[in-house]
C-alpha cells in the first residue's frame, strides 16, 4: 500500500483512549492508524513530535451569513475562521437574507459555499411556506428544520398553533429534527414594550426581556409538540438550570429531546455583561452563576449532547450602540471553541473523552453526518493536531472572521490547534490558511 500522507510520532485519540501511533491518509480518507513500523509508505511524511490528533470539530450551530449579510461574514471568511479554530464541518443556520427556507434558497447557498468554503458545510432550513416542500428540502440534503419561537423566520407564524403542529408532525414523518430557539413570543413582546415605555435601554433591561421564564416556557411548549408528533426536538443554546430540568424530565418521559450548550454559557455569567457591556450581549443572554454551574453538571450527567459555538458575527458598529435595543446580539465563536474547552481539559474540569463526544461524535450522530466525527479507518480524514501545553492569549484582532471582537479577548488559554486537516488536506498550519477556497465539501 502507498498512501498520500503519513503523520508519524503522534498521539491519536481513539474510542478506547489515546494511543501512541501514526495516521495514514489516502484519497481523502483515513487509510491506517498504526504504530510507525506498520504504517504504509507515502508521498509525504510529517513528524508531529508527539502532539495529539483529535477528530475535527463538527460545529452544529454556526451563522455564516453571506448573501445580504456579507458585511458581517461570508463563506470564505467564516470557513477560514473554522479551519483556524479546528472546526472541520459547520452546520449553517437559516436566518439569513434571504431566509433559507426552500430548495431554491438551499441551492443558492450551497453553490456559494461550494465555491468559497475551506471546510465542510451542511445546512439547516427554516420551515417552508408550504408543508409539502419539506420533503424536497430534506431530499436536497438539509439536516433539520430550525424554528424561532420569538418571531417569524420562515413559513410558520409562532402563534399559529395548528400549523406549527402540522410542521412538527411532518418533520417526524421525515425523521429529521426540529431545532428551536427557545423564547416565548408573547412574553418577550409584552416585556419589551413595558421596558421601552419605562425608558429602559440598559443591559439589565435586555436580561429582563430575554428571561429564563421565557426560555423555559418555550421549551415546555416545544416538548409537548415533540411528544404529540413523535418527533425529534433539538434545543439550541440552552442557558438555564430550569431549562435543563425540563429537558431531563422530558427524556425520562420518553420524548426524543437532544440539546446543546455554548462555551460562552459555560464559561461566562451575567457578571461579564456588567463588565464588558454590549460586546457580551447574546441571545439567550449570559445567565447567573447558578445556571452556569447547572450546565456543567448536566454536561457531566450526559443530558447535554453537544457543545456548539453559536458563531454569530456582526459588524463592530452593530455592537457599539447607545441603546441595548439597537445592539445585534451575538459574537464570533469558531476560533475560540476549541482553545476554551482544551483549557478546561487541562484544568481537569472536562474529560477529553467528553469533549470529543460532544464536539465531534454526537453532532455526527444526531445530524447524520456520515463517516465523520471519529478517527477510524475508512472515515473521512477530518482531524486536528493540538498542542495541549501551549499557553497563549486570545486576540480577536487576529481572527479570520470579519467579526474582530470577543468577550474572551485577552483571556489566557492552554491548548492550541496547530494543524487542521479537511478531507485529508492540510488547510491550516501554525495559524496560517494554506489552502484555496472551494475545497470543503457540501454535506448532504
List the pLDDT tens digit at each of the 444 positions of the chain: 799 999 999 999 999 899 999 999 999 999 999 999 999 999 999 999 999 999 999 999 999 999 999 999 999 999 999 999 999 999 999 999 999 999 999 999 999 999 999 999 999 999 999 999 999 999 999 999 999 999 999 999 999 999 999 999 999 999 999 999 999 999 999 999 999 999 999 999 999 999 999 999 999 999 999 999 999 999 999 999 999 999 999 999 999 999 999 999 999 999 999 899 999 999 999 999 999 999 999 999 999 999 999 999 999 999 999 999 999 999 999 999 999 999 999 999 999 999 999 999 999 999 999 999 999 999 999 999 999 999 999 999 999 999 999 999 999 999 999 999 999 999 999 999 999 999 999 999
Instruction: Break the chain into its structural domains and give their ranges.
Output: 2-53+378-391+407-433, 57-366
Q: List, as one string, the DSSP characters of 379-393.
A: SB--EEEEEEEEEEE
Note the pTM of the prediction, 2 decimals. 0.98
Q: Which residues fall within 8 angstroms of residue 68, CB to CB, at 6 or more apart?
A: 96, 97, 98
For residue 33, the number of C-alpha atoms closer than 13 Å in the C-beta half-sphere is 23
- Cβ contact 81:334 at 8 Å: yes
Query: What's domain 2-53+378-391+407-433's superfamily in CATH?
Result: Urease, subunit C, domain 1 (2.30.40.10)
pLDDT for the residue 356: 99
Is 57-366 the same fold as 2-53+378-391+407-433? no
pLDDT for the residue 274: 87
Query: What's domain 57-366's superfamily in CATH?
Result: Metal-dependent hydrolases (3.20.20.140)
pLDDT for the residue 16: 85
pLDDT for the residue 98: 98
Rounded to the nearest 5°, which phi and psi values hold at 228? -75, -30
Cell numbers for 358, please give them. Answer: 460532544
Confirm whether 310 is a catalytic residue.
Answer: yes
From 66, 310, 382, 387, the catalytic residue:
310
Q: Which residues fall within 8 angstroms of residue 70, CB to CB, at 6 or more apart?
A: none
> Within 10 A of 202 (CB to CB), how many other CB atoms are there?
13
Give buried/exposed letters for 168-177 (b at 16+ CB in 10 A, else e).
bbbbbebebb
pLDDT for the residue 1: 79
pLDDT for the residue 321: 94
Task: State how far the Cα of 49 lies from the Cα of 10, in Å rounded to an integer.
Answer: 6
Amino acid at each position: 500500500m502507498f498512501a498520500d500522507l503519513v503523520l508519524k510520532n503522534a498521539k491519536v485519540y481513539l474510542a478506547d483512549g489515546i494511543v501512541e501511533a501514526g495516521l495514514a491518509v489516502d484519497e481523502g480518507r483515513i487509510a491506517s492508524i498504526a504504530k510507525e513500523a506498520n504504517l504504509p509508505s507515502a508521498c509525504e511524511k510529517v513528524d508531529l513530535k508527539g502532539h495529539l490528533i483529535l477528530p475535527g470539530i463538527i460545529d452544529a450551530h454556526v451563522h455564516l451569513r453571506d448573501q445580504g449579510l456579507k458585511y458581517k461574514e461570508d463563506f470564505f471568511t467564516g470557513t477560514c475562521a473554522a479551519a483556524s479554530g479546528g472546526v472541520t464541518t459547520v452546520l449553517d443556520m437559516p436566518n439569513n437574507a434571504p431566509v433559507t427556507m426552500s430548495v431554491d434558497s438551499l441551492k443558492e447557498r450551497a453553490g456559494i459555499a461550494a465555491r468559497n468554503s475551506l471546510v465542510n458545510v451542511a445546512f439547516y432550513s427554516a420551515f417552508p411556506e408550504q408543508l409539502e416542500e419539506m420533503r424536497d428540502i430534506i431530499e436536497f440534503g438539509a439536516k433539520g428544520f430550525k424554528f424561532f419561537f420569538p418571531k417569524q423566520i420562515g413559513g410558520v407564524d409562532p402563534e399559529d398553533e395548528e400549523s406549527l403542529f402540522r410542521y412538527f408532525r411532518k418533520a417526524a414523518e421525515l425523521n429529521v429534527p426540529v431545532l428551536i430557539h427557545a423564547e416565548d413570543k408573547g412574553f418577550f413582546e409584552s416585556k419589551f414594550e413595558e421596558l421601552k415605555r419605562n425608558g429602559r435601554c440598559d443591559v439589565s433591561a435586555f436580561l429582563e426581556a430575554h428571561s429564563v421564564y421565557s426560555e423555559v416556557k418555550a421549551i415546555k411548549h416545544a416538548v409537548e409538540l415533540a411528544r404529540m408528533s413523535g418527533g425529534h426536538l433539538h434545543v439550541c443554546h440552552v442557558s438555564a438550570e430550569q431549562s435543563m430540568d425540563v429537558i431531563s424530565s422530558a427524556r425520562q418521559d420518553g420524548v426524543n429531546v437532544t440539546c446543546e450548550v455554548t462555551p460562552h454559557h459555560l464559561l461566562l455569567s451575567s457578571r461579564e455583561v456588567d463588565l464588558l457591556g454590549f460586546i457580551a450581549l447574546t441571545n439567550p443572554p449570559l445567565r447567573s452563576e447558578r445556571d452556569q454551574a447547572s450546565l456543567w453538571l448536566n454536561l457531566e450527567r450526559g443530558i447535554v449532547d453537544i457543545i456548539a459555538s453559536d458563531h454569530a458575527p456582526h459588524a463592530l458598529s452593530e455592537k457599539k450602540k447607545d441603546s441595548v435595543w439597537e445592539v445585534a446580539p451575538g459574537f464570533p465563536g469558531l476560533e475560540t471553541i476549541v482553545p476554551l474547552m482544551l483549557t478546561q481539559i487541562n484544568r481537569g474540569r472536562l474529560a477529553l473523552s467528553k469533549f470529543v463526544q460532544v464536539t465531534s461524535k454526537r453532532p455526527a450522530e444526531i445530524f447524520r453526518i456520515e463517516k465523520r466525527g471519529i478517527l477510524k479507518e475508512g472515515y473521512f480524514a477530518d482531524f486536528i493536531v493540538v498542542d495541549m501545553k501551549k499557553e497563549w492569549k486570545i486576540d480577536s484582532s487576529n481572527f479570520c472572521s470579519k467579526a474582530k471582537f470577543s468577550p474572551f479577548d485577552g483571556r489566557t488559554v492552554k491548548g492550541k490547534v496547530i494543524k487542521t486537516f479537511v478531507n485529508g488536506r492540510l488547510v491550516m498550519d501554525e495559524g496560517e490558511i494554506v489552502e484555496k477556497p472551494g475545497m470543503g465539501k457540501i454535506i448532504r
